[in-house]
Structure 1
């Protein structure tokens, strides 16, 4: 029991520290605040406040200015990312729902994060066997149909680097086959993908472009191979491509 009490006390202390750190961030939302003012506003000692702000500054959640502490680059970065994700989900969601209703399959959207793709949203289909991928999941960008759709504008050098990053022991023949497949996807404007993870998942994916014509996010239908037969896959190409084009139009992209 004594050990449990110590663990509980440590957890409570950790929560209290976290809440104090969040309180400090709340204080600086509207502009820089000096340590003495933070301590007074939050009823903390100056030494405790100084320790907390130094920890937040070390992780780039706070910056120091001539007028005191202000929001740091990490928060500005997270704010930008959150804004983009909320906008993409909000704008794409009606088209995802319409596509899922039309086809009966799970529909996803996702974005690129360096050499990774992150799923932002999912609309669940009507199949009993469902894809386990959930919003927030991250995969190496070349491992999924959605990730490949995000790469359709990449040049050969970039695709080669990404291929070997995922498969460092691959042969030149395997690379050549993958590059040829990616070239075919790019010409068609849609990716037909069979999972290599042994989970029996197949997908159809297409890029979504912004007003500048750049690939912003991608949209995909994914499901178990028992449902997504070769014939079904082919029948989904046009609906997926059309849905991606509709979302692209919402983002300001006009196809030429």
Structure 2
């Protein structure tokens, strides 16, 4: 049966009761049928039938023989599958565009692939003098702001494993030459909540990166802003850090991350 586009759909009472039960169980460790019937204002027999169906489907469990019920992780599994399909670029693009308009500088979204970062989205600077990069382009983890935030919260053993076969090529005089040197800076990056490429990848170019977290608290991407040192001021630097961290936090929240 086709519905008219402007017709208001009436809520289905049984569906609403099911969600009322789920919400009640989410607010309590466990509840009995009597308590649930009082909370959702439905007869005990109806609540019991709903619970048995939800139990059969794996959304609730019955605790022993004491007639108490609690949620399983089934709802988490369902929501996790939905989050897996969230497009990271689509989530991040509006924030990058807004920061680009405000700063006129280049922005990049990057992820790790082996011992490199890969740019999966970018916003070009509005100046003639700007960073030369492309979506799909790669740069080393050890000399980039994004690379540093991708590694900073990982254990030392993880960093050493990822970079075990990496040749630390000195792109500039400021490039890290070893894992040990990088590890010292990564402690500072973790404490500050952002990373900096201080002319390590290219002379005359600085870059600031902020971490993006998934629902489990893992850093899965980095959001960065690049600018020539001739346009650098301490005031701009602090402003850029704030803009990046705020945007990265909002994207992380949309991915299910709660600090």
Q: TM-score normalized by structure 1? A: 0.60
In 1, Cα distance between the equivalents of 2:85 and 2:194?
23
Structure 2, unmatched stretches of 5+, are 1-83, 171-175
Task: Give how far 1:243 is off.
Answer: 1.0
Contact preservation (8 Å) 1:108, 1:221: yes
In 2, Cα distance between the equivalents of 1:177 and 1:128?
34
Q: Per-residue CA shift, 1:173-225, capped at 9, x if unaligned?
A: 96544322110011111012213244322101011001111112110001211
Task: Tell me the residue number matched to 1:190.
Answer: 194
Q: Per-residue CA shift, 1:26-66, capped at 9, x if unaligned?
A: xxxxxxxxxxxxxxxxxxxxxxxxxxxxxxxxxxxxxxxxx
Task: Tell me the residue number matched to 1:97.
Answer: 97
Pick the structure with greater CA Rg: 2
Does the C-alpha gap of structure 1 residues 111 and 144 become closer, same or farther in structure 2, counting only changes over 3 Å? same
Q: How many residues align?
A: 172
Of 197, 219, 238, which residue of structure 2 is paired with 1:215?
219
In 2, Cα distance between the equivalents of 1:208 and 1:114?
18
Does the C-alpha gap of structure 1 residues 126 and 115 become closer, same or farther in structure 2, counting only changes over 3 Å? same
| Matched residue SS, 2:152 | coil
Does the C-alpha gap of structure 1 residues 166 and 173 become closer, same or farther in structure 2, counting only changes over 3 Å? closer
Task: Give how far 1:250 is off.
Answer: 1.5
Contact preservation (8 Å) 1:190, 1:207: yes
Task: Give how far 1:140 is off.
Answer: 2.0
Q: Which has the higher helix share?
A: 1
| Matched residue SS, 2:151 | coil
| Matched residue SS, 1:218 | strand
Task: Tell me the residue number matched to 2:123.
Answer: 123
